[in-house]
Amino acid sequence: MLAKKTPLLQSFRSLVFRHASHLSRQQYDVIVVGGGHAGTEAAAAAARVGAETLLVTQKKNTIGALSCNPSLGGIGKGQLVKEVDALDGLCGRAGDWAGIHFSILNRSKGPAVWGPRAQLDRQRYREFIQSELLSTPRLTVLEGSVEELLVTEPNPEEPGQHRVKGICLANGNHPISASSVVLTTGTFLSGSLFVGQTTSPGGRIGDAPSSPGLSQTLRERLGLRTGRLRTGTPPRIVKDSVDLSEAQLHPPDSHPTPFSFLNTHTHCKPEEQLPCYLTFTTPGVERVVRESLHLNCHIQQDAKGPRYCPSIESRVLRFPGRRHQVWLEPEGMASDLLYPQGLSMTMPPDVQLRLIREIPAMHRAEIHTPGYGVQYDFVCPTQLSPALQVKSTQGLFLAGQINGTTGYEEAAAQGLWAGVNAARWALSMPLVALSRTESYIGVLIDDLVSRGITEPYRMFTSRAEYRTSLRPDNADLRLTLKGFEEVGCVSSLRYQKAVRVRDKLQEALAALEAIALSSAKWRKKLPGIHMTVYKSHCDLQKKEIERVQKEENMCLSPDLDYFSLPISLSEEVREILDRVRPSTLGAASRLQGITPAAVINLLHYVKYTGQKERGIHRNQPNQKEQGEEQRCQHDCEH
Amino acid sequence: NKPTQNYIRPCYFLIPSRGTPLSRLLCNCDEVSAGLASADTIFALSSGHGRCGVAVVRVSGPASVTSLRSMAGLTGSLPPPRKALLRSITDPLTREVLDRGLVLWFPAPHSFTGEDSVEFHIHGGPAVITAVLEALGSVPGMRPAEAGEFTRRAFQAGKLGLTEVEGLGDLIHAETEAQRRLALRQMSGELGHLYQDWSNKLKRCLAYVEAFIDFSEDELIEDGVLNQVDRVVCNLQTEMEQHLKDKRKGERLRSGVQVVIAGATNAGKSSLLNSICQRPAAIVSPIAGTTRDVVETALDIGGFPVLLIDTAGLRDSLDVVEREGVRRARERVEQADLTLVVVDCSNLPIDTQQAAAFLQEHLKSVMSTQKQNNCLLVLNKTDLLPEEQRQNLDMELRQVSGLPPACLISCHSNEGLQDFLTALHGNPLVSTVIYCNRISSIKIMKCDTIFAIY
């Protein structure tokens, strides 16, 4: 539920959540701005890597709030949750704690595309996240509104290159300095709210709008290109006023499957789970939408909305004369509200009531909180490196909706990776990138930074070329080991568990390979084990993956002047490269309009400069003094 | 009822059949799936696309050794590395001997690409090259190389010096550009429509399958999408098989570009044929209607196989034999890749503007408007025109639009013949059609293999 909290008094604004000794502290390694899915994962990850971290949020009470739907996971998204968990993130365990209805979507298809999903108890989810952050060493939470992002003047030797210095709070006595800042402002960056014909500044109903200073700095001082997107949320319905006998009952899986590799069972007992209900729109719904279009500001805006989570207005206008699904989802164990998924709407509240009452199950329903729309700024993500660092500003990292994505899982995944790199930057460790050949997180980030977005980006399994290898079941084998050995964001406890799993699987596989039986006998002996045809497919993919990885390992410096490169490239190709600034040869070859000839020429260039850079590298052991490209080069050599 | 079992970590191995050891089975299924296009062994004609004494076909990747064994009849030990060996080169399926030539075996890493590689040094005739490329395409796990792919592999394996790469980009660019132009041209033709149609159907199938995978059971993906995909794929497979079996197209791929000489009687068609082949292939006489049947001559123009076809002059005749000749001539014109329309320019109106209109009319009587895109106007007997009129005509034809390119020649004095041959040679239809046709038929074969796995 979108709680309406009494605004905290100004004097409590800089209330410190914990660690009283840090009250006076004015310097951190990493500052994370925002306490949503991206911000909490970023802060926790940065602290796990070893950075002294500060999380700044407007209201400590809304940390870990589910602003929209009370659910986590799904097809493609479930994979992201498993990967965040494999890297020791929060959302998987929080989901297991707060889940009240677990089901695996897509069970009828291959296990690589199964989508673990859960309905969540909003209260429990928030509590879990908040208590996790409380018990994370090196992490401080501060309540406050960020007024200003502090950056250095551009370095005269590297034009356009800034460096982050810290932030200034609204009540700003002193600036707080940090080597890295992670911005996870969600819908708050120049956010405006829409209900009916009224518009007000803000990113979420009940919360104060964020300061215009931040988006000004991003646009004007740092020269970042931004765009505008929109989204919306449905009205919340009073459960008792709904006639559930008119809706189809959808029970959860009888055995809930936890998200986290650490959990063997969920907090909620199987028999305690709550059901969901399915209903459908009627022609009356379409009529109300059409009649109220002139009262609906949001729908008339140009900004692009989420294609795969459309408002009821877009649904009936795009597909008139059809019956559309509406899911009624529980908001929590003790909650007396229902969340009508599929009914996101922005018309005036009285029209919203008329609309929902056109659906038989809700013919007497009452609205607790009306739905509304949000428009917000995003930063074109092609201006980021694969480490989610702004290319023109050292130490500035962005994650979540600010990068043009939609969805909790997408936000959490970026948050974790931005947090990891923010900490590594602050601690003078080389930045790290995940490849699209090893994870959905890699696919997500590569799609964002090398292709950019034109509409809110959501994950699908079809975005991952190697999805039969990137399965929800092997996220730990793919990422936990690397997360501990190379990235430093995984606890040794989780690491040891993953190592045991890997060793036992290898043993079992070796033992089985030594046995020859007919398929009928195999089936009899190992009932319930998935007999898949992935093996040969995965082996094939492996070759392809190796080829791609070779190209991923060839870095292109972010400050290349493509227009003056002394190699044979057409003007068109130069313009594309200059606009997108791909960070690796692999990313460049995936761009539209880049010819095979251009790739060969770039390859030549990379190899030539690669040799030169290595020379510099040996002479300058102090990494902090070097640009990111050399860090990247350094990475490649290992 | 949803399955109730717990989320079990799936075990990724195949259940073997008939008591085969598991590891062995895995090998087998690798071989099966090696038929997929992504199983990375590539081949290409590495020595230019023209006719030449010796042609080099290069193979690189893990299946190189398979190609060597199956095509050079090497069942026992492999030849010593990097030593030339004279072998009969055979088709791996039909065992038909395609050529006798040198094979060289370059085991990794001592090869151009750093991978296992094989080179076939064969005779440079287009028929031999086609046959060897098609035979390689039928070896499991092999596919035609993309532009620049050999070099890219070599570079990645650290096999290329920097100087060797310089300029290579330009070469690849030229190659891709030629292919692009050809593809564009092909796309407007009948074959193009067919391929486009296949491609659209396949994309639609893919979209259906992806939607089916990415949206859950509850999300209203209509029932039966997969059945629909099954049906379409099944039909496509049949269509492609039939297309590959199609004798006429197969014949054309092998025999090269068909160039038909057509026109009114006594325009000098047979003289043109004789001038091009530099020998009296056809009987020429001043009597109209000398050529009554189709006369075919295979020749080599700029290194490419061309079937030059002389036809009976187009006129209404009472003679039964001649009428049949004219019918055949019209049929050949409709099937031709390129038509040379020969006109006696001494018959043209003196006013050059009228001449252009006359030619347009004349073309209509020879062929359908659609065919006129693949046509060259040959204005013969320029020796009969006064110099001034010839120059005016030449000027006018250069400026007028709506006419195919025109050449003024005299088969009698050989005037303009060289320019005409250059125009014919330079016609991209003649040069690139062959190679790309070969590649596309191999690609259709691959498609067929993949369908078999589906």
Q: Which of B22, B162, B168 sits opposite A600 (nearest CB)?
A: B168
User: What CA–CA distance (Å, rounded) separates A550 from A552?
Assistant: 5
Nearest Cα of chain A lies from the Cα of B149 at a distance, in angstroms, of 9
Assign A532 a pLDDT band (cuts: 50, 70, 90). low
pLDDT of residue B379 exceeding 60 = yes
Q: What is the pLDDT of residues A76-89, one digit of tens each?
A: 999 999 999 999 99
Mean pLDDT calculated for residue range B67-82: 87
For position B220, what pLDDT does the model report?
Answer: 66
Q: Considering CB atoms only, which of B3, B12, B19 is closest to A538?
A: B12
State the nearest Cα–Cα gap between A371 and chain B, in angstroms.
23
> What are the chain A neighbours of B148 within 8 Å (beta carbons)?
596-597, 599-600
Distance in angstroms (rounded) separating the CA atoms of residues B122 and B46: 12
Cβ-based contacts of B13 with chain A (< 8 Å): 509, 512-513, 535
**Tokens standing for B30?**
């690798």
Q: What is the mean pLDDT of chain A?
A: 86
Chain A residue numbers touching B223 (CB-CB < 8 A): none
Lowest mean pLDDT: which of A107-111, A332-336, A509-513, B445-449? B445-449
> Nearest residue of A to residue B22 by CA position?
A513
Contacts of B157 in chain A (CB under 8 A): none
User: Per-residue pLDDT for A340 more than 50?
Assistant: yes
Interface test with A, best of B5, B6, B15 (most A CBs within 10 A): B15
Structural domains of chain A in order of their starting residue, each with its CATH number: 25-232+376-486 (3.50.50.60), 236-372 (2.40.30.260), 516-618 (1.10.150.570)
Q: Please provide the DSSP assignment of B382-413 as one string.
A: GGGS-HHHHHHHHHHHHH-SSS--EEE--TTT
Instruction: Please indicate whether, in this complex, the C-beta atoms of B20 and A538 are within 8 angstroms of each other.
Output: no
pLDDT of residue B102: 93
B contacts of A595 (beta carbons < 8 Å): 173, 176
On whether the CB atoms of residues B39 and B66 are closer than 8 A, the answer is no
- DSSP per residue over A549-584, as a string? HHHHTSB--TT--TTT-SS---HHHHHHHHHH--SB
Buried b (16+ CB within 10 A) or exposed e, A204-220: bbbbbbbbeebbebbbe
Contact A607 B2 (CB under 8 A): no
Chain A, 516-535: which have a CB under 8 Å from a chain B CB? 516-519, 522-523, 526, 528-535
Of A515, A518, A535, the CB nearest to B12: A535
Q: Does A111 touch chain B (CB under 8 A)?
A: yes
Q: Does A471 touch chain B (CB under 8 A)?
A: yes
Within 8 A of A601 by CB-CB distance, chain B residues are: 169
pLDDT of B1 reads 36
A165 touches chain B (CB under 8 A): no
Residue A568 or residue A632, greater confidence: A568
Q: What is the pLDDT of residue B253?
A: 40
* Beta carbons of B15 and A519 less than 8 Å apart: yes
Strand partners, A141: A55
B14 or A581, which is more confident?
Answer: A581
Q: What is the pLDDT of residue B432?
A: 43
Residue A520: Cβ within 10 Å count: 10
Least confident of A114-128, A275-289, A511-525: A511-525
Give the mean model confidence (pLDDT) for residues A539-546: 76
pLDDT for A350: 96
- C-beta atoms of B22 and A513 within 8 A: yes
Look at residue B250 and tell me whether its pLDDT is greater than 60.
no
Confidence grade of residue A553 (pLDDT, cut at 50, 70, 90): confident
Instruction: Judge: B217–A534 Cβ closer than 8 Å, yes or no.
Output: no
pLDDT score of A502 more than 90: yes
pLDDT, position B181: 47
Question: Do A459 and A407 meet the contact criterion of CB atoms below 8 Å apart?
Answer: yes
Bridge partners, A194 (sequence order)? A199, A373
| A462–B contact, CB cutoff 8 A | yes
Q: How far apart are CA A495 and CA B35, in angstroms?
A: 39
What is the average pLDDT across A234-255? 96
Q: Which of A462, A522, A604 sits opposite B214 (nearest CB)?
A: A462
Question: Cα distance from B151 to chain A (closest Cα, Å)?
Answer: 8
Among A600, A601, A605, A609, most B C-beta atoms within 10 A, so best to mutate, is A600
Interior angle at CA B331, CA B325 and CA B333, nearest 5? 105
Cβ contact B5–A528 (<8 Å): yes
Q: Which two tokens stand for residue B347?
A: 């018959």
Inter-chain touch A516–B26, beta carbons under 8 Å: no
Q: Sorting pLDDT into bands at 50, 70 and 90, what band is A222?
A: very high
Q: Is the pLDDT of residue B227 over 90?
A: no
Residue of B nearest to A517 (CA): B19
Cβ contact A411:A36 at 8 Å:
yes
CA distance B268 to B379: 9
CA dihedral A466, A467, A469, A470 (to 10 degrees): 110
A510 shares contact with chain B (CB less than 8 Å): no
C-alpha–C-alpha distance, residues B149 and B172, integer Å: 9
Percent of the residues in chain A that have a pLDDT greater than 70, as a whole number? 89
Q: Which of A104-118, A342-356, A605-619 has the lowest mean pLDDT?
A: A605-619
Task: Give the pLDDT score at B163.
Answer: 54
Residue A438: HSE in the Cβ half-sphere, 13 Å Cα cutoff? 16
Q: Encode pLDDT of A341-390 as tens digits.
A: 999 999 999 999 999 999 999 999 999 999 999 999 999 999 999 999 99
Residue A2 has pLDDT above 60, yes or no: no
Q: Mutating which of A604, A606, A636 best tests the B interface, going by the most B Cβ atoms within 10 A?
A: A604
Q: By the CB < 8 Å criterion, does A544 face chain B?
A: yes
Helix runs in B157-246, H state only: 162-165, 168-188, 190-214, 225-245
CB contacts < 8 A, A to B, total: 173
DSSP B119: E
Q: With CA atoms as reference, report the closest residue to A626 among A618, A617, A635.
A: A617
Which range (A11-15, B177-181, B325-329) has the least confidence? Answer: A11-15
pLDDT tens figures, B263-277: 888 888 888 888 887
Model confidence at A23: pLDDT above 80: no
Q: Are B107 and B115 in contact (CB under 8 A)?
A: no
On chain B, the residues whose CB falls within 8 A of the CB of A534 are 10, 12
* Range with the poorest average pLDDT among A295-309, A622-636, B230-244: A622-636
Mean pLDDT estimate for chain B = 74
In this prediction, residue B23 carries a pLDDT of 30
Domains and CATH numbers, chain B: 41-157 (3.30.1360.120), 161-217+224-246 (1.20.120.430), 252-432 (3.40.50.300)
Cβ–Cβ below 8 Å for B14 and A536: yes
Asked if A171 contacts A10 with a C-beta cutoff of 8 angstroms, the reply is: yes
Residue A251's pLDDT is 95
Give the Cβ contact number of residue B447 at 10 Å: 17
Q: Which residues of B touch A536 (CB under 8 A)?
A: 14, 26, 29-30, 32-33
Confidence of residue A403 (pLDDT cuts 50, 70, 90): very high
Cβ–Cβ gap A596/B146 under 8 Å:
yes
Judge whether A546 is closer than 8 Å to chain B, CB to CB. no
Over residues A169-191, the pLDDT tens digits come to: 987 677 999 999 999 999 999 99
A454 and B CB contact within 8 Å: no
| Chain A hits for B32, Cβ within 8 Å | 536
